[in-house]
């Protein structure tokens, strides 16, 4: 039957089984026809096979037939043959190489449409071997005056370069004069080719920088020219070409002052003159914004770009709002103040109906929280937490904790307790986060422990709440019984009453093993703060022989460890820990036994690219290993200096964390954590830093010089900065690394050191 | 670059699939299944973009057909919507008020048009006229191939 008849027939099948039967019957017929080497019907049969392949049926027995069709003299055969090759052939199988010779011949065919078929097939699915064999032919066609072929050759060259990057050099001569073409097809594909070359090779990038004026001219002509029906889309002339030129300009202007300056005017022009009523205009604006933010643009232009994003946020079109939020997220670190101006619009997006928009608005809101706006932001975020979908609750609760921990030491008592009452939605890492926050908020300790104690009297079913409360009582129980709370009426409570409550948690059915661990630890800690030591010893000895093995371990650990807690626990980079008391090997190892803390932190840092992941891992460790890790963790982080992101570009992110080196408070110890979110490793990674004259800098050895792909690990390195004059810390960093075969280098200023790191 | 483009119906029937990177057949099938499920579950009020694996998915529904593209991190989603729209316009001009049935019964022509418009995941020509002219000329070449007796019809390709 004819192709269309077959399609019609197959569509009448009422069940999957019926369809399969028809297909099998037809396949059998096609197979025998192939065996008979029938030229007349081959084309039709392959076409039918392609249809069946689309329905999901195997069609590999047609592969060779496609090759025969390609070799035929008839255009009809070639058309179907090449289509079949693209759909059925796979570069993993050697049979595809049989195409190479046909393609070579067809690239030199007298009919441009045949040449076009060959270029298209090579440019869509050519394997590395085919590309190597045929690159010369493509290069020839790149120099032809036939614009139909030239445009295709350009994209074919792009594919060749993607498959075999070493061949890039051979296309360089042919790129001369590519931009002098009038034909938009050639222009567009040429810009794509130039972009590919510049992205892959710093040498090519330097070489092509001289094209900036020409690109600017072409873009200007597109904007200023009158109506051109052939390329017009809703009143805009060739938006596709405009977008590609803007993208190439971005790559050329990055890290280059002169190029950036040369494109400044045209960017401002596009940004102000582009019609925004339709998607196509906004697409151009979007690309313009991305370019402005990435090159070395003057601040006025950057503000213009952020304002465009701000206007996008108010657009009715949700797609536009979505890209605005995504872009603002990328730029919130570097242009924080400009983005802050749009905070209220961003917060409004929390109420959007679209899940992706809500999520981005939430992430952006976290990034915008600071000491000044925290009250208002928290109100909004709490409202959001209250009313949002379950899929958001955990992330929202955790995100707010993190935002507060990292940005501000101001504690808002109300909200945290309501978080804890969100109960089952709260992630496991919220507890350590909140504990960290409480630790940092020294002036609130008395108030916090009182509030939490009262909460325990009401309800001991919410495990996260109970855990944090227990911890607090263990830490600040002395403040509780001495009634030091200033923010509200101090309650009258005795040591015995407190111990009653904590012991009650130990025996309650509602308490999980983790919670019991917290409460036992709290009781033990109170042995150094309360006077009723005998009672405490009794409780501990009871649980020392408890059936619950975990509790038993903790009880024993704690007794042995109590003496060590008052000794300063070592910070990473500091002196080795005091030797632990000898522990029988069947006991779980103390965290600090014999291992210096630095490797541990590396492991933790390696577990995740940011502080948040580290906290998750630590909380997991806590549950397995016992209270001592917690102590270490809190001491480690309670220097109170928040970490910061020093550099974040092209997938390379470098975070700084801080400690004070004891005993010299003029030395800031900075650990850099480099992570790589791209899909290829960054090798030969070298981090160098320079500081102003009044400082002295010592750079220790890095953990490695490979930053693994996809955030699978970090490179860490310690910097010691002596700052005897307590001047504001500034640093210039130089990064070099190799990525996907190309060498990268970047210089960057780091100016956003938190005041606590140098004051 | 665009990594792939899929056309499928509301019932989850694939009408066209174009892959611009070498992918194993088994993986293609899985990705198609996954994506169809995700896209078909989206409500009308949601935006046209979503994140999937390390790619950005841009999709738009035209009548009974979903046009679904996967693009890379650095690609512009808004212009991708325009690319999809341009492809639909090309189909529409060629078939004259195109509908899903046209694409079902003339799938190979839909591919020919796509292959004249995009190559290696990038646009070949930004002029509608130019692309359609090339298709027209190629169709003529096919006809010239044939002997007077309409073998073209015989082949089921007319």
Is B76 close to A188, i.e. CB distance below 8 A? Answer: no
Residues of A in contact with B45 (CB under 8 A): 318, 353-354
CA separation for the pair A404, A142 (Å, rounded)? 57
Q: Are A225 and A237 in contact (CB under 8 A)?
A: yes
More confident residue, A594 or A678: A678
Q: Are A669 and A659 in contact (CB under 8 A)?
A: yes
Which contiguous run of DSSP H or E holds residue A630? helix A627-637
Percent of chain A with pLDDT over 90: 47
Is B122 close to A353, i.e. CB distance below 8 A? Answer: no
- Residue A571, pLDDT above cutoff 50: no
**β-strands A652-660, A696-699 pairing:** unpaired
Is B108 close to A83, i.e. CB distance below 8 A? Answer: yes
Q: List, as ranges, residues 283-312 from A with C-beta within 8 Å of B.
A: 283-284, 286-287, 290
What per-residue confidence (pLDDT) applies to A607? 30
Average pLDDT over residues A571-577: 34
**3-state secondary structure (DSSP) of residue A569:** coil
Q: Are A630 and A622 in contact (CB under 8 A)?
A: yes
Is A124 close to B125, i.e. CB distance below 8 A? Answer: no
Task: Report the chain B residue with the minimal C-alpha distance to residue A91.
Answer: B22
- Residue B143, pLDDT above cutoff 80: yes
CA separation for the pair B16, B107 (Å, rounded)? 7
Average pLDDT, chain B: 92
- Residue A418, pLDDT above cutoff 60: no
How far is CA A647 from each of CA A123, A199, A618, A650, rounded to the nearest angstrom?
37, 20, 25, 10
Beta bridge partners of residue B16, listed in sequence order: B7
Is A356 close to B129, i.e. CB distance below 8 A? Answer: no
Q: Are A413 and A447 in contact (CB under 8 A)?
A: yes
Is B47 close to A319, i.e. CB distance below 8 A? Answer: yes
- Among A90, A158, A318, whose Cβ lies nearest the Cβ of B120? A158
Is B76 close to A151, i.e. CB distance below 8 A? Answer: no
Q: A521 φ, ψ to 5°?
A: -60, -40
For A97-111, A468-482, A597-611, B84-98, which range has the lowest pLDDT when averaged over its residues?
A597-611
Residue with tokens 């999957």: A16
Long-range contacts of A510-515 (CB under 8 A, 24+ apart): A510/A460, A510/A461, A511/A460, A511/A463, A511/A466, A512/A463, A513/A548, A513/A550, A513/A551, A514/A463, A514/A467, A514/A623, A515/A463, A515/A466, A515/A467, A515/A470
**3-state secondary structure (DSSP) of residue B9:** strand
A403 burial (CB, 10 Å; 0-12 / 13-18 / 19+) is: buried
pLDDT band with cut points at 50, 70 and 90 for residue A428: low
Is B125 close to A184, i.e. CB distance below 8 A? Answer: yes
- Among B45, B54, B124, whose Cβ lies nearest the Cβ of A151? B124
- Residue B86, pLDDT above cutoff 80: yes
Is B15 close to A50, i.e. CB distance below 8 A? Answer: no
- Residue B141, pLDDT above cutoff 50: yes
More confident residue, B57 or A611: B57
How far out from the chain centre does Cα B151 lie?
28
Nearest partner of A44 among A19, A69, A25, A70, judged by Cα: A69
Q: List, as ranges, residues 145-164 from A with C-beta within 8 Å of B.
A: 148, 151-152, 155-156, 158-159, 162
**In the sheet that A742-750 helps form, which strands lie side by side, from edge to edge?**
A682-690, A731-739, A742-750
Size of interface A-B (CB pairs under 8 A): 191
- Residue A710, pLDDT above cutoff 90: no
Among A84-98, A300-314, A628-642, B84-98, the range with the most confident prediction by mean pLDDT is B84-98
pLDDT band with cut points at 50, 70 and 90 for residue A532: confident
pLDDT band with cut points at 50, 70 and 90 for residue B101: very high
What per-residue confidence (pLDDT) applies to B18? 97
pLDDT band with cut points at 50, 70 and 90 for residue A138: very high
Is A239 close to B50, i.e. CB distance below 8 A? Answer: no
More confident residue, A427 or A622: A427
- Among B14, B24, B82, whose Cβ lies nearest the Cβ of A239? B82
For A32-36, A234-238, A384-388, A420-424, which range has the lowest pLDDT when averaged over its residues?
A420-424
Q: Is the dihedral of CA A145, A149, A154, A160 positive or negative?
A: negative
Q: Are A540 and A558 in contact (CB under 8 A)?
A: yes
Which contiguous run of DSSP H or E holds residue A550? helix A549-565
- Residue A51, pLDDT above cutoff 90: yes
A87 φψ region: left (φ > 0), alpha (ψ -120 to 50), beta (else): alpha
Average pLDDT over residues A269-282: 93
Q: Does A90 touch chain B (CB under 8 A)?
A: yes
For A116-130, A547-561, B75-89, which range has the lowest pLDDT when averaged over its residues?
A547-561
Residues of A in contact with B130 (CB under 8 A): 185, 230
Could you say which DSSP state residue A707 is in? B
Concatenating the DSSP letter of every residue in A717-756 gives EEEEEE-TT-PPP-EEEEEEEEETTEEEEEEEEE----GG
Residues of A in contact with B125 (CB under 8 A): 151, 184-185, 188
> Which of B14, B16, B33, B47 best probes binding to A when mutated, by most A CB atoms within 10 angstroms?
B47
Q: Are A131 and A160 in contact (CB under 8 A)?
A: yes
What per-residue confidence (pLDDT) applies to B78? 97
Structure tokens at A423: 């109960």
Concatenating the DSSP letter of every residue in A196-227 gives HHHHH-HHHHHHHGGGHHHHHHHHHHHHHS--
Residues of B in contact with A55 (CB under 8 A): 14
Residue A314: how many other CB atoms lie within 10 Å: 13
Which contiguous run of DSSP H or E holds residue B14? strand B14-19
Is B115 close to A159, i.e. CB distance below 8 A? Answer: no
> Which of B14, B77, B123, B153 best probes binding to A when mutated, by most A CB atoms within 10 angstroms?
B123
What per-residue confidence (pLDDT) applies to A270? 95
CA distance B129 to chain A (A): 7
CA separation for the pair A103, A86 (Å, rounded)? 13
Residues of B in contact with A231 (CB under 8 A): 126-127
How far is CA A683 from each of CA A495, A717, A745, rounded to the nearest angstrom?
59, 15, 12
Is residue A663 reached through a cis peptide bond, with omega within 30 degrees of 0 on the bond before it?
yes
- Residue A628, pLDDT above cutoff 50: no
Is A155 close to B104, i.e. CB distance below 8 A? Answer: no
- The ipTM (two decimal places) reads 0.93
């Amino acid at each position: 039957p004819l192709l269309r008849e077959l399609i019609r027939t197959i569509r009448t099948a009422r069940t999957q089984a019926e369809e399969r039967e028809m297909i099998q019957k037809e396949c059998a017929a096609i197979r025998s026809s192939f065996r008979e080497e029938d030229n007349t019907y081959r084309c039709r049969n392959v076409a039918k096979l392609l249809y069946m392949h689309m329905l999901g049926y195997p069609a590999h027995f047609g592969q060779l037939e496609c090759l025969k069709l390609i070799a035929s003299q008839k255009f009809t055969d070639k058309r179907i043959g090449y289509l079949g090759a693209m759909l059925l052939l796979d570069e993993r199988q050697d049979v595809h190489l049989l195409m190479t010779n046909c393609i070579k011949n067809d690239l030199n065919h007298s009919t441009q449409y045949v040449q076009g078929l060959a270029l298209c097939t090579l440019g869509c699915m050519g394997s590395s071997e085919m590309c190597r064999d045929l690159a010369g032919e493509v290069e020839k066609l790149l120099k032809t005056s036939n614009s139909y072929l030239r445009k295709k050759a350009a994209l074919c060259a792009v594919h060749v370069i993607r498959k075999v990057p070493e061949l890039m050099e051979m296309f360089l001569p042919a790129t001369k004069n590519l931009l002098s073409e009038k034909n938009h097809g050639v222009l567009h594909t040429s810009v794509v080719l130039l972009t590919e070359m510049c992205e892959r090779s710093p040498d090519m990038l330097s070489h092509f920088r001289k094209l900036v004026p020409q690109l600017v001219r072409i873009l200007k002509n597109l904007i200023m020219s009158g109506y051109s029906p052939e390329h017009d889309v809703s009143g805009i002339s060739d938006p596709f070409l405009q977008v590609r030129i803007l993208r190439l300009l971005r790559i050329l202007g990055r890290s280059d002052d002169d190029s950036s300056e040369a494109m400044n005017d045209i960017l401002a022009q596009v940004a102000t003159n582009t019609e925004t009523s339709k998607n196509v205009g906004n697409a151009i604006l979007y690309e313009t914004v991305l370019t402005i933010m990435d090159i070395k643009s003057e601040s006025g232009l950057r503000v213009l770009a952020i304002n465009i994003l701000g206007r996008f946020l108010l657009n009715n079109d949700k797609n536009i709002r979505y890209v605005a939020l995504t872009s603002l997220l990328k730029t919130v670190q570097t242009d924080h103040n400009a983005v802050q101006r749009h905070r209220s619009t961003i917060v409004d997006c929390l109420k959007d109906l679209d899940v992706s928009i809500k999520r981005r608005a939430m992430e952006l809101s976290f990034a915008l929280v600071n000491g000044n706006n925290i009250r208002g932001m928290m109100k909004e975020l709490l409202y959001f937490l209250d009313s949002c979908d379950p899929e958001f609750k955990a992330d929202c609760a955790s995100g707010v904790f993190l935002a507060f921990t990292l940005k501000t030491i101001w504690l808002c008592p109300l909200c945290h307790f309501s978080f804890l009452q969100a109960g089952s939605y709260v992630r496991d890492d919220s507890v350590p986060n909140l504990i960290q926050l409480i630790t940092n908020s020294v002036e609130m300790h008395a108030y916090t422990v009182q509030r939490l104690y009262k909460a325990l009297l009401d309800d001991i079913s919410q495990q996260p709440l109970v855990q944090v409360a227990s911890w607090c009582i263990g830490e600040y129980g002395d403040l509780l019984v001495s009634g030091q709370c200033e923010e509200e009426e101090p309650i009258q409570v005795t040591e015995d009453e407190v111990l009653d409550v904590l012991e009650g948690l130990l025996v309650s059915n509602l308490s999980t093993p983790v919670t019991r661990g917290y409460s036992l630890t709290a009781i033990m800690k109170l042995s150094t703060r309360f006077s009723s030591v005998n009672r405490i010893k009794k409780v501990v000895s009871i649980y020392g022989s408890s059936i619950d093995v975990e509790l038993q371990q903790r009880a024993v650990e704690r007794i042995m460890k109590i003496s060590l807690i008052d000794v300063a626990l070592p910070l990473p980079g500091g002196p080795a820990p005091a030797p632990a008391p000898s522990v029988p090997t069947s006991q779980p190892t103390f965290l600090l036994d014999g291992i210096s803390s630095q490797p541990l932190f590396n492991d933790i840092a390696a577990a995740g690219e940011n502080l948040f992941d580290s906290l998750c891992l630590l909380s997991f460790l806590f549950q397995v290993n016992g209270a001592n890790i917690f102590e270490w963790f809190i001491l480690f982080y309670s220097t109170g200096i928040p970490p910061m992101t020093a550099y974040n570009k092209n997938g390379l992110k470098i975070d700084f964390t801080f400690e004070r080196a004891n005993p010299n408070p003029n030395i800031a110890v900075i650990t850099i954590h480099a992570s790589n979110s791209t899909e290829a490793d960054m090798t030969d990674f070298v981090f160098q830093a320079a500081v102003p004259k009044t400082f002295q800098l010592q750079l220790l050895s890095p953990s490695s010089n490979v930053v693994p792909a996809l955030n699978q690990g970090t490179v860490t390195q310690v910097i010691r900065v002596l700052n005897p004059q307590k001047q504001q810390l500034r640093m210039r960093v130089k990064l070099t690394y190799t990525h996907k075969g190309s060498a990268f280098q970047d210089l960057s200023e780091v100016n956003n050191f938190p005041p606590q790191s140098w004051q | 670059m665009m990594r792939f483009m899929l056309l499928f119906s509301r019932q989850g029937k694939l009408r066209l699939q174009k892959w611009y990177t070498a992918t194993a057949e088994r993986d293609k099938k899985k990705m198609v299944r996954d994506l169809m499920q995700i896209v078909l579950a989206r409500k009308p009020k949601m935006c046209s973009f979503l994140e999937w694996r390390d790619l950005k998915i841009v999709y738009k529904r035209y009548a009974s057909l979903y046009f679904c593209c996967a693009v890379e991190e650095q690609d512009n989603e808004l212009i991708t919507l325009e690319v999809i729209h341009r492809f639909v316009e090309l189909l529409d001009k060629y078939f004259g008020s195109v509908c899903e049935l046209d694409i079902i019964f003339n799938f190979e022509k839909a591919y020919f048009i796509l292959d004249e418009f995009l190559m290696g995941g990038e646009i070949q020509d930004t002029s509608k006229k130019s692309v359609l002219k090339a298709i027209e000329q190629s169709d003529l070449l096919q006809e010239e191939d044939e002997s007077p007796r309409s073998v073209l019809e015989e082949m089921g390709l007319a």
